Every structure is written in structure tokens, then in C-alpha cells.
């Protein structure tokens, strides 16, 4: 990782991808972190480029609030192309207030 990449990660501390946890050296972000920070969550598919907004309250009911975000990506499957696991990315977005 070079300095420019590190700076990018600092600006987007919640951006995570499957197998790579970019949480500024802290523990992986969880659903409860998302809720606490008023973040939203999107699932990206590397296979077909599909992008869907996640329903966080549904994810909490299904996985529990303590699940790390990369784990959600690992357990998700694209309904468009069927890609699973490593090809699904979880990205948290902060809406400007
Ligand atoms: Zn897909």
C-alpha cells in the first residue's frame, strides 16, 4: 500500500472489500458501526457490476448487528449473475448531511 492509497483509505474508512478489511487498523466494521455512524451499505458485484442498496435492518435481523461487513459480502450472492463470496463487495457510504 502506498501513501496515496493510505490517504484514500483514511477518507473512506468504512470502505471494505471481501478478504481485505480496510478499517484504519481497527477491528473490522460491523453493522452496529454502520448504524452508530449513520452509514448506509451497498453490495457490489465484481462479476456483472451490479450494485444494490442493502436493507440494514433486514441484515441485522438475519446476521445480527455484530457481524463484520466483509462477512456479509462473503455470505451474499448476486441475484443477477449468481456470483458468490469473493466477487461481492461491501461498501459503506456516508451520506452528506
Ligand atoms: Zn453479479
Q: Tens digits of per-residue pLDDT, 16-27?
A: 444 334 444 556
- Name the nearest CA neighbour of 43 among 75, 8, 4: 75
**What does the pLDDT read at residue 84?**
83
Give the total number of structural domains in the chain: 1
| Domain containing residue 72 | 3-93
Residues forming a β-bridge with 26: none
The pTM assigned to this predicted structure is 0.62
d(CA 97, ligand 1 centre) in Å: 31
Q: Any idea what the Cα angle at residue 49 is, between residues 93 and 20, rounded to 5°?
A: 55
For 49-78, the pLDDT digits (tens) are 888 888 889 999 999 999 988 888 888 888
Joined grid coordinates for residue 45: 458485484
Residues with CB under 5 A from ligand 1 (ion): 45, 47-48, 50, 78, 80-81, 83
Joined grid coordinates for residue 93: 457510504
Amino acid at each position: 500500500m502506498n501513501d496515496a492509497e493510505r490517504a484514500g483509505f483514511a477518507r473512506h474508512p468504512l470502505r471494505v472489500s471481501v478478504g481485505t478489511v480496510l478499517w484504519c487498523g481497527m477491528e473490522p466494521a460491523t453493522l452496529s458501526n454502520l448504524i452508530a455512524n449513520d452509514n448506509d451499505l451497498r453490495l457490489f458485484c465484481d462479476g456483472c457490476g451490479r450494485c444494490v442498496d442493502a436493507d440494514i435492518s433486514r441484515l441485522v435481523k438475519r446476521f445480527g448487528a455484530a457481524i463484520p461487513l466483509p462477512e456479509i459480502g462473503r455470505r451474499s450472492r448476486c441475484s443477477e449473475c449468481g456470483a458468490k463470496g469473493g466477487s461481492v463487495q461491501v461498501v459503506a457510504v456516508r451520506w452528506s448531511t
